[in-house]
Amino acid sequence: MTGPIELFSREHPAFVHVPLGLVVCLPFMIAAAYRSRYPQTWRRMALRVALVALGGGLLTMASGLYWGRLLNLIPAGRLLPVVSSQGQALQRTLRSHEVNALAGAVLGILCVLLLRRACREPGDARWTGACLLGTVLWAGTWGYVGKQGGVMVFGDAETNKAAAEAINAKKNDAEAELPLRALDYASLEPLQAAPFRSRAHGGREARSWVTASGSDALAAGRPLPVGAYAVLTTWTLGLPGPLHMREAKADGTQAFALYWPRVPEGERAAFGGEDSVYWRSPHPALEACAGCHAAGKARP
């Protein structure tokens, strides 16, 4: 169900134009007071417009905060996004966007107070001058906030580059979501004639499968040659257990993977409490694998 608050929040990029448009008018209205035959009318109108702009701006800021939480950019119960790395261009821009919006609101309050003073002391041109300066700063600050909002909605050179890099990294990593080669173990050569009980891997029934390039080496007790990989499938009473993979990389290191899409309740404690795991090197939980399977060494 989409409630009115949610609807209002999702339309944040549209509503921002209302307070911003009003604030942009203010310096012109105050400047008109200098030339008009009715300067006090212009000042009073400017005060009213400033009040509406400030109120609208505060509502818009609330809608932005709500929207940021709806999009999971701002954690629930917090006012600012968490920026945990420099690569998070969107979160960084959002944080600055919020801080600047707040600075603009403070300037807005100041301008309202100045305008009230200018209305009360029409004879003193200095108050009107201060209003002119204040509203220019207010419009400039919120204008910049709007520009940052545009960057977040449409992207700029930096954010679009970061997004393209993330997509490319995923494209070049065919196994980002599933261990495709390990799941295709039936295309590899079985290392044993029959399943065996593997005490090293949780006492489950197991069987190893190796690429043709690695089967002779493993059978002869030599380390896996570069590019070769082995898979260890496991079962408990016919139910699939974790799928293991070990690969010899070109740089002389080994990569490990462990995939168990349905961890039974009783086993979760040993798998970080997860109900589904897909771990890949350098995941810290796989350090134990390297403890037994040292790089460049024969099979344990």
Q: In a 3-state reduction of DSSP, which class is residue 230? A: strand
Check binding of 244 to ligand HEC (CB under 6 A): yes
Check binding of 185 to ligand HEC (CB under 6 A): no
> Least separation, in Å, of the C-beta of 173 and ligand HEC?
18
CA 119 to centroid of chain Cα atoms = 48
Secondary structure string (H, E, C) spanning 202-229: CCEEEEEEECHHHHHHHHCCCCCCCCCE
Q: In a 3-state reduction of DSSP, which class is residue 197? A: strand
- The size of the interface with ligand HEC (CB under 6 A), counted in residues, is 22
Sole window of 24-32, 111-119, 145-153, 199-207 interacting with ligand HEC (rule: CB under 6 A)? 199-207
Check binding of 127 to ligand HEC (CB under 6 A): no
The tokens 């809608």 sit on which residue?
63
> Least separation, in Å, of the C-beta of 289 and ligand HEC?
3
Q: How many CB atoms lie within 10 A of CB 298?
A: 13
Sole window of 77-85, 163-171, 259-267, 288-296 interacting with ligand HEC (rule: CB under 6 A)? 288-296
Based on CB atoms, which residue is closest to ligand HEC, 7 or 200?
200
Check binding of 288 to ligand HEC (CB under 6 A): yes
R_g over Cα of the chain: 32
The tokens 């079962």 sit on which residue?
235
Figure out which of the listed residues 22, 114, 131, 289 binds ligand HEC, where binding follows CB under 6 A.
Answer: 289
Tokens for 64? Answer: 């932005």
Figure out which of the listed residues 145, 231, 248, 263 binds ligand HEC, where binding follows CB under 6 A.
Answer: 231
Check binding of 270 to ligand HEC (CB under 6 A): no
Q: In a 3-state reduction of DSSP, which class is residue 248? A: strand
> Least separation, in Å, of the C-beta of 182 and ligand HEC?
8
Selection from 241, 194, 231 nearest residue 209 by Cα: 231
Binding residues for ligand HEC restricted to 36-75, rule: CB under 6 A: none
C-alpha to C-alpha distance for 69 and 246, rounded to whole angstroms: 41
Residues within the interface to ligand HEC (CB under 6 A): 198, 200-201, 206, 208, 218, 230-232, 244-246, 256, 258, 286, 288-289, 291-293, 299-300
